[in-house]
Amino acid sequence: MPLDVSLRVLTYNIRHCKGLDGRVSLDRVASVIRSSGADLAALQEVDSFSCRSGLRRQAYVLGRELVMWSVYGPTRRTLRLPRFGNAILGKRRLLEAVQHRLPGEGEPRSLLGVKVESDRVELALFNTHLGLTVRSRGEQIARIVEVLQGASGPFVLCGDFNCRPHAPELAPLYALAQDAAAVLGREAPTFPAGGPKVRIDYIFVSPHWSVRGIEVLESDASDHLPVMAELVVPAESAS
């Protein structure tokens, strides 16, 4: 008899591990992820070979410290070296990873996706960090919806969307996925970390999932607060 598939997912804009005290600390961010018990962690604003963060490959170092695999999706390069982007860390078996470039003006943006296996069920996790203008976000969400429509099973979409829950550009996404925080009525603000006023960090889930819990975690390791969701695919949906 098939069993329910459970997953703990974290989304966190780590601001290259720069905390509210102005200090860059990989250990502090690693502690947040470790304490959360996340099976999969979607991270935004992750540095690699950057002077401001000690030339360290932050995704790789965090993965090593947490005994999790790491996938890095750079959105900005200098002299062909990856400098800045998104990352996914995980404990479940990694099957594949892919990065999709997103349209829009200004800073380059992308959608990083992985497919994992959990209890013999294939799941997809996507991670993004959207642009600063309504027009860019609208174009980027349209492309993300195209990608999600191609997902054959349960999926989770995480990220810093740089807009509030009722922003009109999010409407096409709501037609495809649920906002996990809204499902449970726990729509706590996530930014800025020192005195959060707005919710711009999200975990969206496909209809396969049941949201069992969601929480905005306290932390001073970045200017955003991390969001943790406990998700379950019921056995009848997983089989």
Q: For residue range 23-75, list pLDDT tens digits in order.
A: 999 999 999 999 999 999 999 999 998 988 988 999 999 999 999 999 999 99
Residues 144 and 126 sit within 8 Å (Cβ to Cβ): yes
**End-to-end CA gap in the chain:** 9
Torsion sign over Cα 46, 47, 52, 53: positive
Q: What is the Cα–Cα distance from 96 to 76, expressed in whole angstroms?
A: 22
Q: Residue 150's CB: how many other CB atoms inside 10 A?
A: 8
% of the chain residues with pLDDT over 90:
87
Q: What is the Cα–Cα distance from 83 to 24, expressed in whole angstroms?
A: 16
Q: For residue range 145-203, list pLDDT tens digits in order.
A: 999 999 989 999 999 999 999 999 999 999 999 999 999 999 999 999 999 999 999 99
Task: Tell me what pLDDT residue 1 has.
Answer: 41
Task: Tell me what pLDDT residue 91 has.
Answer: 97
Domains of the chain, each with CATH number or no CATH: 5-238 (3.60.10.10)
Mean pLDDT of 201-224: 97
Residues 209 and 156 sit within 8 Å (Cβ to Cβ): yes
> Residue 79: is its pLDDT beyond 80?
no
Alpha helical stretches, state H, the chain: 26-36, 58-66, 134-149, 171-174, 180-183, 235-238
Which of 5, 20, 68, 61 minimizes the C-alpha distance to 41?
A: 68
Q: What is the Cα–Cα distance from 179 to 204, expressed in whole angstroms?
A: 5
Strand order in the sheet with 69-78: 69-78, 81-90, 40-47, 5-13, 227-233, 210-216
